[in-house]
Amino acid sequence: MGKAIEITDANFEEIISGDKPVLVDFWAEWCGPCKMIGPVVEQMASEYDGKAIIGKVDVDSNPSVAQAFGIRSIPTLLFFKGGQIVDKQVGAVPKAVLSQKLDAQL
Residues labelled catalytic: 31, 34
CA 40 – CA 38 distance, rounded (Å): 5
Helix axes 32-47, 95-103, angle to 10 degrees: 50
Beta bridge partners of 88: 78
